[in-house]
Amino acid sequence: MLFQPFTFKNGQTAKNRFFKSAMEEQLAKHNRPTEQLVRLYDTWAKGGAGVLVTGNVMVADNGKGSINDVVLTDDRSMDTLKAWAKAGKQNDTLLIMQINHAGKQSPKVLSPTPVAPSAVALQGMDGFINPPRELAAGEIEELVGRFIETARLAEQAGFSGVQIHGAHGYLISQFLSPHHNRRNDKWGGSLENRMRFLVEIYQGIRAAVGSEFLVGLKLNSADFQKGGFDENDSIRVVQKMSELGIDFIEISGGNYESPEMLTAKESTKKREAFFLDYAEKARAVSQVPLIITGGFRSEAAMNEALQSGHLDFIGIARPFALMPDLPDKIRQGTYQTITTNRIKTGVAAVDNKIGAVLEMDWYMAQMALIGKGKQPNPNLSPWKVLLKNLWENGKAGLSTGRS
């Protein structure tokens, strides 16, 4: 089933079921796309995936979550954007731009006072991320427009579609969560109000782009946080977005305070598909094309998940940073199940404190190698990555890597 084509309702066809999920590349310069990004996606497109999703492209200058994010608010970088789109669409590949705003998940070096639905501070981020201020109603409307404009520019550049990032604790995810969103106006309170920001972004984009341009969503199955966005809420959002006509939904989970996307129980790891149980529940209320990302490593597990009928694509992220031609290897029968071991320095005090960030930085370093036309290096020293990050970004760099 992995190599069966899939045609979306708008007529666009993915040549197979491999969905390269978003990873933060951190290859922008002055927050604009670069030739390294073009080369990275050129490599991935030639590697056989049906769908490639970019890392976060931020819709506003005050929405950056990392130092070297791409920020797309105007057409100044249109030539490079077009080159990026052309490279990523080679070999009959669909290239989706993930669009996002970090909200309060923005380090203080970038946002002295980050913005959020409500002035609720992130726990455990003291010294890295400052408490946010609450967005005014007019600012919320303006941000809806920012998402729409970024999507319009992506279409102009030639991308196949956009993915609205509503997961991992970023701004849309913050609006969806009753823990983070404590507003008492039309943007908060009931789930209907909390999802209004997402709904208006989607409807605005849909009205601004052509019918063949894909508009999808990345959504948490849950925040895994007391009083937060839970599975029941998530299923209701899936149902609502399905009714509105969203083109696809990718499922993940967690946020900075509870990073489920970075960790999983051993039993879940063995099964590989982190969110398969949730997918079955989502399928009961929606027939929108569904992707789950997290844990897939073996060809057998990928095929088994597709055969279950609960999902339509296999979401894979980190293995693509080590094996850019993973789909082609499976198609050719030369694939050996990739292992992605924890990246550790071996010093417990370091690994316990910044292990998750170091791991993301290590994978970003692999993508940087590919972007320079080199091969990934599975033996790359974590210490080398750590020291390079500290040299270039100081302590702030330890808080700015993201998934």
CB atoms inside a 10 Å sphere around CB 101:
25
Asked if 67 and 344 touch (Cβ cutoff 8 Å), the reply is: no
**pLDDT mean values, one per 10 residues, the chain (403 residues):** 96 98 96 98 98 98 94 97 98 98 94 96 85 97 98 98 96 97 97 98 98 96 79 95 97 62 46 76 94 90 93 96 97 92 83 81 96 96 86 57 45
Bin 374: left if φ > 0, else alpha if -120 < ψ < 50, else beta: beta
Residue by residue, DSSP assigns 20-75 as: E--------BTTB--HHHHHHHHHHHTTT-SEEEPSPEESSGGG--STT-EE-SSS
User: Is the Cβ–Cβ distance between 344 and 357 less than 8 Å?
Assistant: no
Alpha-carbon distance values, 201 to 55, 252, 318, 366, 402 (Å): 19, 20, 29, 33, 23
Looking at residue 23, its pLDDT comes to 95
Residues 182/183/186/190 CA torsion (nearest 10 deg): 20
Alpha helices per DSSP H over 245-347: 266-271, 276-283, 299-307, 318-322, 326-332
- The separation between CA 170 and the C-alpha centre of its own chain, rounded to angstroms, equals 10
CA-to-CA separations, 69 to 59, 83, 111, 225, in angstroms, rounded: 10, 18, 13, 27
pTM of the model: 0.93
Residue 225: what pLDDT?
67
Sole residue written with tokens 């404190």: 353
Per-residue pLDDT at 170: 95
The one-character DSSP state at 311 is -
Q: Residue ranges of the domains in the chain? A: 6-342
The whole-number pLDDT of residue 398 equals 53
What value does the CA radius of gyration of the chain take, rounded to a whole number of Å?
A: 19
How far is Cα 376 from Cα 105, in angstroms, rounded to an integer? 29
- What pLDDT does residue 397 have? 52
Q: Which tokens is 275 given?
A: 């969110």
- pLDDT for 217 equals 98
Decide which of 3.30.1490.190, 3.90.1150.10, 2.60.40.10, 3.20.20.70 is the CATH code for 6-342: 3.20.20.70
